[in-house]
Amino acid sequence: PDLFQAPDYYNLDDLLTDEHKMVRDAAREWVKRDVSPIIEEAAQDAKFPKSIINGLAEIGAFGPYIPEEYGGAGLDQISYGLIMQEIERGDSGVRSTASVQSSLVMYPIYKYGNEEQRKKYLPKLASGEWMGCFGLTEPDHGSNPGGMTTNFKDKGDHYLLNGAKLWISNSPFADVAVVWAKDENDRIHGLVVERGMEGFSTPETHNKWSLRASATGELIFDNVKVPKENLLPNKSGLGAPLGCLDSARFGIAWGTIGAAMDCYDTALRYAKERMQFGKPIAGFQLQQKKLAEMITEITKAQLLAWRLGVLRNEGKATSAQISMAKRNNVAMALNVAREARQILGAMGITGEYSIMRHMMNLESVITYEGTHDIHLLITGMDITGISAFK
Ligand code: TGC
Ligand code: FAD
């Protein structure tokens, strides 16, 4: 497994700059050295491996596109995508941690925060000294976050925050939480809530069969006094959290290619070595069909992600374009994982190979950051001009 070959069937490397390749190769090396050897056990034990936080910071996974003056890596969108691809080749849960830290915590502080907030939080988040989480989903409001009931009241010198968030990645160990809540006029704002504030707790959600190496939990606010300077002042309304999701969904569109590549690479090598009926199973037409369809779908997903990266570098990508890529590429990776698992026969269900772990992880990825259905309806809304949600 340590001889991972990234498929590049359409010579996409020709479209990458030297910097892109350098950033990708550094991330690939790190994943091979520091993630792959420990991740299976972490997933089996359902423990987030904190030992990888420093490495994630070193490869630029915390704030790849946040300017260097705030501790970010100052890279472009394609480098960001390539880092996510390499991390998710290791594990979707590790990529989740990086996605949340970068796109859902650092991005809103950078984009919607003031200068003091940027200086206070971003460098520590970029170095991994502080870890963050993003609280949008509630027990009764998942696909429809606009219906949230978490709220805060102006108490003169502070805000009083009440409510609860569920399914929050990184919550059990996060130092800071970017929390979306309604003010007294039902307007949504982002607030930075810090661990240690009275009335704030983060119980962990156990018994997941998916993303087991990523910690997931609740955020509970019981009359939490939040200092007024912790409100993100520069954007409000549902568009504020959704704007962060655009960035995270773009990262997922790239990341899932990594998971698919790892499944394909593993299945191809296994099929060439595994003998049945006197020949390698790769010689049977049914197995070739699976492998040929995998590489076709991976290649299409790579093209989608690369073009979207160019559009984002030019500031021209629409939210609907991002939805299409997130939806397509996650489903692609999940299908590749399911087919690859079959190629390995019984071996495919064990932790000796990464495929079953990828497959189970991708069941979360197809649900979070907007479900497969919701992204289809976003495309439907975009092409017809009629919202299926209203
Ligand atoms: P709608 O009326 O369409 O929009 C409300 C306002 O938001 C604006 N907007 C966006 N702005 C920026 N980026 C986007 N992608 C945007 N989409 C919409 C829109 O223009 C409007 O602005 P304004 O100024 O007119 O008010 O809202 P709706 O209530 O009808 O809902 C639309 C819907 C269903 C598409 C949306 O709510 C949605 O995307 N639902 C899915 C929820 C979701 O993705 N949750 C993710 C939670 S975080 C997470 O899962 C992290 S997992 C992390 C990990 O571990 O990697
Ligand atoms: P629901 O909204 O209840 O949907 C259930 C089903 O109904 C889905 O199949 C959906 O597609 C379908 N459905 C809903 N509405 C419609 C409609 N209008 N038309 C047709 N079908 C519809 N959230 C955060 O805020 N922060 C996080 O860090 C975070 N991390 C997560 C980590 C994990 C491991 C998981 C599993 C989830 C995480 N989430 C997080 C939550 C995630 O974003 C939500 O689970 C997701 O948005 C879906 O919400 P729901 O689970 O409540 O499903």
Low-confidence ranges of the chain (pLDDT < 70): 1-4
Which ligand 1 atom is the nearest neighbour of the CA of 97?
55
> Which residue has 């039902």 as its token pair?
186
By alpha-carbon position, which residue is closest to atom 48 of ligand 1? 369
**b or e along 314-330 (b: 16 or more beta carbons within 10 Å of the residue's beta carbon)?**
eeebeeebbbbbbbbbb
Which ligand 2 atom is the nearest neighbour of the CA of 208?
34
**Residue 377 Cα to ligand 1 middle (Å):** 12
Q: How many helices (H) and strands (E) does the chain have?
A: 12, 9
Q: Do 310 and 258 touch, CB atoms closer than 8 A?
A: no
3-state secondary structure of 160: strand
348 CB less than 6 Å from ligand 1?
A: no
Which of 181, 142, 137, 178 is closest to 161 using CA atoms? 181
Catalytic residue among 88, 138, 297, 369, which? 369
Instruction: Report how far residue 22's alpha carbon sits from residue 111's, in angstroms, rounded to the nearest whole number.
Output: 27
pLDDT score recorded for residue 4: 67
**Residue 244 Cα to ligand 1 middle (Å):** 9
Which residues does 98 contact at the CB level (< 8 Å), separation at least 6?
56, 61, 62, 83, 84, 87, 251
pLDDT score recorded for residue 206: 97
**Residue 177 Cα to ligand 1 middle (Å):** 19
By alpha-carbon position, which residue is closest to atom 35 of ligand 1? 378
**Residue 138 Cα to ligand 1 middle (Å):** 14
Which residues does 370 contact at the CB level (< 8 Å), separation at least 6?
143, 245, 249, 323, 326, 378
Bridge partners (DSSP) listed for residue 162: 151
256 CB less than 6 Å from ligand 1?
A: no
Which residues does 43 contact at the CB level (< 8 Å), separation at least 6?
91, 93, 212, 213, 351, 357
Is 369 assigned a catalytic role? yes
By alpha-carbon position, which residue is closest to atom 26 of ligand 2? 168
Q: Is 21 left (phi over 0), alpha (psi -120 to 50) or beta?
A: alpha
pTM above 0.95, yes or no: yes
> Which residue has 């340590």 as its token pair?
2
With the most atoms of ligand 2 within 8 angstroms of its CB, the residue from 143, 214, 360 to mutate is 143
238 CB less than 6 Å from ligand 1?
A: yes
Q: Do 310 and 287 touch, CB atoms closer than 8 A?
A: no
Instruction: Report how far residue 127's alpha carbon sits from residue 71's, in angstroms, rounded to the nearest whole number.
Output: 7
Which of 264, 251, 209 is closest to 95 using CA atoms? 251
365 CB less than 6 Å from ligand 2?
A: no
Q: Which ligand is nearest to the CA of 144?
A: 1
Tokens of 14: 């020709």
pLDDT score recorded for residue 1: 42
Tally of CA atoms within 13 A in the half-sphere of 144 that contains its CB: 7
**b or e along 153-181 (b: 16 or more beta carbons within 10 Å of the residue's beta carbon)?**
eeeeebbebbbbbbbbbbbbbbbbbbbbb
pLDDT, tens digit (0-9, with 9 covering 90-100), for 126-147 = 999 999 999 999 999 999 999 9
DSSP symbol at 171: G
Q: Which ligand is nearest to the CA of 382?
A: 1
Q: Do 112 and 234 touch, CB atoms closer than 8 A?
A: yes
